[in-house]
Amino acid sequence: MESTGSTPLQPPADTELHRRLVYGDESALAEVYGAYGPLVRRVAVRVTRSPAAAEDVAQEVFAQLWSRPYAYDADRGSLRTWLSMLAHRRAVDWVRSEARHRKDARADDSALHAIPDASPGPDETVVDRERSLLLHTALAELPQPQREVVHLAYFAGRTYRQAAVELGIPEGTAKTRLRTALRTLAESLADPPDPALERGA
């Protein structure tokens, strides 16, 4: 029952919240939502570009935490990072499934404008929108240690030093992981488009 890994012990708050979620205490879910709802929505809206879709994603993320509390392991990371990464994954899935729907809609030449939310807004070009999705897809596929730092530093607004403390890693490691991650992302733009994405898979 004790943490045996090399990862740091999580603050008691996460362990206690997890305990209450496991034992079916709804007030724990309300607390988690109050604390991390804004972060989850922020992540989701960056990926989906749609406030309505971001609300759907947030709702799904918190429903998943409630219904499958054992998917989160307090010994392996903070609830903040875990929720942020789950929201990102779900938001990328949402965009991909939108892309698939649009392709289908185009194929049978109807309902082309059924999903106005997913189209680029006036402030964003189609190319930028596509590149953004490519980047977020690549981000979702980064190795977990890199993804954790990116989520804390980028979505959760931590400095790299705060992220290092929160993850229990040296500052230099946090810097290196951010650098490796961002370079990988930058290079993914140069790569030819992912065929799986093209298929909307």
Partner 1 sequence: MTSEHDGVRDLLAAWAFGALPPAEQEIVPRHLAECHSCAAEAEKLRETVRLLDGPPSSRTGVRPWSDVLSTALRARPATPRVAAHAAPYAAAVAGLKALLPEAEGRWGTPVVHDWDVHATVAHLLAADEPLAGRLGIAARVPASPVAEGARWQDAWNRRSAEVIAHEHGRTPEETVADWAAQAAALLATPEAREPELAACATMLMGVRLPVADHFVVRAFEAWIHTDDIGRALGLAVPAPPAGHLGQLVRLAVRILGLALGPAAQPVLFAVDGEQQWVLGSEDEPIRAELALDPVDFCLLMGGRRTPDEVPRRAVGDEGAIRNVLERAASLSWL
Contact residues for partner 1, defined by CB under 8 A: 1-2, 15, 18-26, 29-30, 33, 37, 41, 45-46, 49, 51-52, 55, 58-60, 62-64, 66-70, 73, 75, 121, 123-124, 128-129, 131-132, 135-136, 139, 150, 153-154, 157-163, 172, 174-176, 178-179, 181-183, 185-186, 189
Report how far residue 167's alpha carbon sits from residue 78's, in angstroms, rounded to the nearest whole number: 8
User: Which CB sits closer to partner 1, 64 or 105?
Assistant: 64
Token pair 């012990």 is found at 9
User: Which CB sits closer to partner 1, 103 or 179?
Assistant: 179
Report how far residue 95's alpha carbon sits from residue 109's, in angstroms, rounded to the nearest whole number: 20
Report how far residue 45's alpha carbon sits from residue 137's, in angstroms, rounded to the nearest whole number: 14
Cβ of residue 21: shortest distance to partner 1, in angstroms?
8
Token pair 């059924």 is found at 114
User: Which CB sits closer to partner 1, 63 or 201?
Assistant: 63
Cβ of residue 20: shortest distance to partner 1, in angstroms?
6
Length of the chain: 201
Cβ of residue 176: shortest distance to partner 1, in angstroms?
7
Report how far residue 102's alpha carbon sits from residue 110's, in angstroms, rounded to the nearest whole number: 10
Q: Do the beta carbons of residue 140 and residue 165 sit within 8 Å?
A: no
Cβ of residue 107: shortest distance to partner 1, in angstroms?
27
User: Which CB sits closer to partner 1, 31 or 101?
Assistant: 31
Cβ of residue 111: shortest distance to partner 1, in angstroms?
23
User: Which CB sits closer to partner 1, 35 or 105?
Assistant: 35
User: Which CB sits closer to partner 1, 66 or 105?
Assistant: 66
| 159-to-62, 104, 153, 178 alpha-carbon distances in Å | 26, 43, 6, 11
Q: Which two tokens stand for residue 152?
A: 């804390």
Cα angle 37, 43, 45 (rounded to 5 degrees) comes to 95
Cβ of residue 92: shortest distance to partner 1, in angstroms?
12
